Structure 1
Amino acid sequence: MEPTGHYWYSLANRLAQKGLNVVLVNPATTKRNKENRDNCPSKSDPKDALVIADVVSRGYYYEYIRQATHFQRLRTLMNDREFWVTNSVQMQNRIICWLDVRFHEYASVFKDWTCPRSILHLKSFRLRWI
């Protein structure tokens, strides 16, 4: 199977738990093979299954080894942390953009918009949308 998203994870664990041999293929390999097959990057379930079977038959796969529960949880926590850090940076950039557009002088008054005094001023503003 191709380990993209989170859909493969539960199935791979269940199959490994039942003693079946689970192999994974690199998504980049399947993408290249798909484009080489018919010179078209289109995607469909039958085509994906055929491409994955072809990649496995050529030996371009690796064995899935089920991790211990605490490593699985750690992996989930790391993925969640990465999501929230990225989301936080995006939100901060949006706020900075908004401040630059609405109050272009704000950065000259407050070097750091997250300081308590800046936050207090932002809360006290009665904002009207233009």
Structure 2
Amino acid sequence: MNKKILGSFEVKGNQLIVSDPCYPVEDAFDKSDILSWVLEPAKSGEWESIVFFTEDFTITKLIACHRDVELGSEWTETGKNIGVDSAMAGIFDASVFGRDEAISYEVKNIYDIEMDEEGMKYYVACSDIIASSDDEAG
């Protein structure tokens, strides 16, 4: 299996959201929702993201690990699924997930998605990153 370091992101609080970015932020905090969820406590600071993929470039795993923690084999099984309706899933800082005001730049909107409700600019920004990436991740 191949792997590639995608880059890093900053977590400002102590929560991560694991979700498809098309879902509203409220879904992650809804205990009855089974497709997106909050991971806490999460260490604030810089996190590095790594993608694993097969020879035909099918992504099989996405990992985010705090820079101060060695990537090891000790994992805690949550038994939770990640819902994917828009062909995207990710690990996001809960303090900015789904919040349009977190996107301070003009999005490209490569797929010409209608941005008529709260959270759509954030979703479009995620879509733009994936669409413009050779890794189909970002």
TM-score by length of 1: 0.25
Relative contact order (alpha carbons < 8 A, sep ≥ 6): 1 or 2 greater? 2
Which structure features the higher share of strand residues?
Answer: 2
Bigger CA radius of gyration: 1
Which structure features the higher share of helix residues?
Answer: 1
